[in-house]
Amino acid sequence: MGAIQRDGFTFEVEYSVSHQNGAVHVYQDGKFIKELPFEFSGQQPNEDEIEQVVDRFLVQ
């Protein structure tokens, strides 16, 4: 799962299978803006769920 570029932001996904949680790190112009935590089940987060985390951030 690579970085997502949208609306001038870069979203980088990091997750732990053993802990079943992760975070989307938000950057703008290379500067860290915010961490968006999430939980998931299985071997990796579902890409659609990650897109929803990004979408929620963008509509704030």
pLDDT tens-digit readout, 1-60: 689 999 999 999 999 999 999 999 999 999 999 999 999 999 999 999 999 999 999 998
For residue 31, the 8-state DSSP code is E
pTM metric for this prediction: 0.90
Give the pLDDT score at 1.
66
Q: Hey, what are 46's tokens?
A: 């579902």
CB neighbour list of residue 52: distance below 8 Å, 6 or more residues apart: none
- Cβ atoms of 38 and 23 within 8 Å: the answer is yes
DSSP 11: E
Q: CB of 23 within 8 A of CB of 36?
A: yes
Instruction: Give the domain ranges of the chain.
Output: 4-58
User: In this predicted structure, what is the pLDDT of residue 2?
Assistant: 81
